[in-house]
Amino acid sequence: MGLFELIKAGLKKTSQVLRTDIRDLFKQEGRLVDEEFLRDLFAILVKTDMGVGPAGEIRDEIHSESRARRLQMHDVIEVVRQKLLQLMTQGGGGLSAASSGPTVIMVVGVNGSGKTTSIAKLAQRFRNDGKRVVLGAGDTFRAAAVEQLTIWSQRSGAEIVQGESGADPASVAHRAVSRAVESSADICIIDTAGRLQTQTNLMQQLTKIRRVLGKVLPDAPHEVLLVLDATAGQNGISQARGFHEAAGCTGIVLTKLDGTAKGGVIIPIQQQFKIPVKYIGVGEGMDDMLPFNAEQFVQAMFADVEDGGR
Ligand SMILES: Nc1nc2c(ncn2[C@@H]2O[C@H](COP(=O)(O)OP(=O)(O)O)[C@@H](O)[C@H]2O)c(=O)[nH]1
Ligand SMILES: [Mg+2]
Quote the ligand 2 centre to 161 CA distance (angstroms).
15
Q: Is the pLDDT of residue 30 over 90?
A: no
Q: Which atom of ligand 1 is nearest to the CA of 283?
A: 28
Question: Quick one: pLDDT band at residue 310, thresholds 50, 70, 90?
Answer: very low
Q: Is 229 in the pocket of ligand 1 (CB under 6 A)?
A: no
Q: Which residues of 55-83 are buried (b: 16+ CB within 10 A; e: fewer)?
A: bebbbeebbeebeeeebebebbbebbbeb
Quote the ligand 2 centre to 278 CA distance (angstroms).
19
Tens-place pLDDT, residues 60-71: 999 999 999 999
What is the value of pTM for the model shown?
Answer: 0.95
Q: Is 9 in the pocket of ligand 1 (CB under 6 A)?
A: no
Q: Which atom of ligand 1 is nearest to the CA of 281?
A: 27
The CATH code belonging to domain 103-292 is: 3.40.50.300
Most confident of 142-156, 234-248, 276-290: 276-290
Contact assessment for residue 123 and residue 135, using Cβ atoms and an 8 Å cutoff: yes
Q: For 31-36, what is the mean pLDDT?
A: 94
Tell me what pLDDT residue 92 has.
64
Q: For 161-179, what is the mean pLDDT?
A: 92
Class of domain 3-90+300-307: mainly alpha
Quote the ligand 2 centre to 73 CA distance (angstroms).
43
Q: Is 233 in the pocket of ligand 1 (CB under 6 A)?
A: no
Helix 35-47 and helix 52-66: axis angle, to 10°? 150
Q: Is 138 in the pocket of ligand 1 (CB under 6 A)?
A: no
Indicate the domain borders of the chain.
3-90+300-307, 103-292
